[in-house]
Amino acid sequence: MKIFYALETFLPHVSGVTISVNRLANYFSQNKKNKVYVITASPNGEFQIDSDSYNYTIVRIKSHVNPIRKELKASYLASLHIKKILDDFKPDVIHIQDPSFISQSLAFEAKKRKIPVIATQHCSLKFPLSYLKLPRFLRRTTSETMAKILAAFFNGYCQILITPSEFIKKETIKWGINIPIEVVSNGINIETFSTSRISEEFLKKYQIENFISKPIIFYSGRIDKNKNLETLIKAIPLVLKKVDVHFLLLGGGDLKKELVSQLANKNCFFKKNVCFLGPIQPENIDLASFYRLATVFVMPSPIEAQSLGTIEAMASGLPIVAAKGGALPELVKDRENGFLVETLKPGDYAEAIIEIIKNKNLRKKLGKKSLELIALHDFKKTSQKLKKIYDKNYNC
């Protein structure tokens, strides 16, 4: 089977979507009967085909400046390349990962050629809206318009829609989706996180030998405004009044420079208690070691479509403190494997973290439950579910 994955932005840019697609492309490439291609925008603007860096082939289409996210590129003229790409590679199944220029062009041409198109909606509409910075009175109208456009596209050009959580499924139903919708977790390799170990070489590499002398409150993910990290930063001094801990934030993004600058201020008494590191690539074995360092994992983002970071933390046996929003309540069961708190209340995050740090028995109980709940998100199971969807649509 020839499988196309399509998305506007791919590795080396790190996000939940790029990590998931890379994992899927690697998995399906292991079967020698499959040929896997990732169609994406070129990060340097020029058309190129890369079949040496990965176990699959990446076709990077000519791209241009993205005015909304300047660090990324967009293929506005993707349609000029798609016909030739389809003629050259002749896919059996196309799995689009976003409804942007490349995916739309592929879907339009695929319909003419009767190639099945599967779509995954990875995010809530609150995610793209967070980058548009619209005035409040325009947000609802813009959201409704976007929902209608997406529903028309998915209904008109796709055979099935996949969502990573029930939260996103319910949102897409409200848009007016009338094609089948399947919930398939992005999944992770649980064994990688449950068996990782910390080495002296690892600690020296990141210069954190002394940082591990205290319990570590850990965050892993993009350091962008839509992740609500400002609330977490406000919670730090409240936590430090009660317990002596360190905060480790792993990732990269638009907000990182600003936050690091704030903490460098002479008046910031807790700057020695906070460390920013990363980003690191998803296949880097060091990622699992960072989770192994942690005592508590915090996810303050209220718009997570699933949250790979939270899933990885659960696989590492960590108690979770998470925002009561998005898909997080599907992962975090309040007082079972962590605490769900009000999204914009630093005091609530602080209270939850303090309670977990002070109570060793509670910490063990929550971490044990995380390991139980994560079994549903084993990549071995989720990839097989996706394979059945591919086979069903390919054989139609």
The predicted pLDDT at position 64 comes to 93
Q: Is the pLDDT of residue 130 over 80?
A: no
SS3 letters for the chain? CEEEEECCCCCCCCCHHHHHHHHHHHHHHCCCCCEEEEEEECCCCCCEEECCCCCCEEEEECCEECCCCCCCEECCCCHHHHHHHHHHHCCCEEEECCCCHHHHHHHHHHHHHCCCEEEECCCCCHHHHHHHCCCHHHHHHHHHHHHHHHHHHHHHHCCEEEECCHHHHHHHHHHCCCCCEEECCCCECHHHHHCCCCCHHHHHHCCCCCHHHCCEEEEECCCCHHHCHHHHHHHHHHHHCCCCCEEEEECCCCCHHHHHHHHCCCCCCCHHHEEEECCCCCCCCHHHHHHHHCCEEEECCCCCCCCHHHHHHHHCCCCEEEECCCCHHHHCCECCCEEEECCCCHHHHHHHHHHHHHCHHHHHHHHHHHHHHHHHHEHHHHHHHHHHHHHHHHCC
Residues 38 and 136 in one domain: yes
Residues 179 and 67 in one domain: yes
The predicted pLDDT at position 73 comes to 92
Residues 299 and 157 in one domain: no
The predicted pLDDT at position 53 comes to 85
The predicted pLDDT at position 396 comes to 54
The predicted pLDDT at position 366 comes to 98
The predicted pLDDT at position 391 comes to 93
Residues 178 and 227 in one domain: no
Residues 363 and 219 in one domain: yes
Residues 215 and 257 in one domain: yes
Residues 386 and 368 in one domain: no
Residues 178 and 277 in one domain: no
Q: How far, in Å, CA of 198 to CA of 264, rounded?
A: 29
Q: For residue range 190-210, what is the model confidence (pLDDT) as tens digits?
A: 999 988 889 999 999 999 999
From 68-72, 123-127, 150-154, the region with the lowest mean pLDDT: 68-72
The predicted pLDDT at position 186 comes to 94
The predicted pLDDT at position 127 comes to 83
Residues 170 and 205 in one domain: no
Mean model confidence pLDDT for the chain? 94
CATH number at residue 249: 3.40.50.2000
Name the pTM for this structure.
0.92
Q: What is the mean pLDDT of residues 366-392?
A: 95
The predicted pLDDT at position 169 comes to 97
The predicted pLDDT at position 190 comes to 94
Q: Tokens 């074995």 sit at which residue? A: 285
The predicted pLDDT at position 160 comes to 97
The predicted pLDDT at position 388 comes to 95
Most confident of 124-128, 260-264, 344-348: 344-348
The predicted pLDDT at position 236 comes to 97
Q: For residue range 224-282, what is the model confidence (pLDDT) as tens digits?
A: 988 999 999 999 999 999 999 999 999 998 899 999 988 888 788 899 999 999 888 87
Residues 234 and 313 in one domain: yes
Domain that holds residue 368: 190-377
Number of domains in the chain: 2
The predicted pLDDT at position 29 comes to 96
Q: How confident is the model at residue 395 (pLDDT cuts 50, 70, 90)?
A: low
Residues 283 and 302 in one domain: yes
Residues 8 and 117 in one domain: yes
Q: What is the mean pLDDT of residues 95-122?
A: 97
Kindly give, in sequence order, each residue whose CB lies less than 8 Å from that of residue 343, ignoring residues fewer than 6 positions away.
228, 231, 300, 302, 323, 324, 325
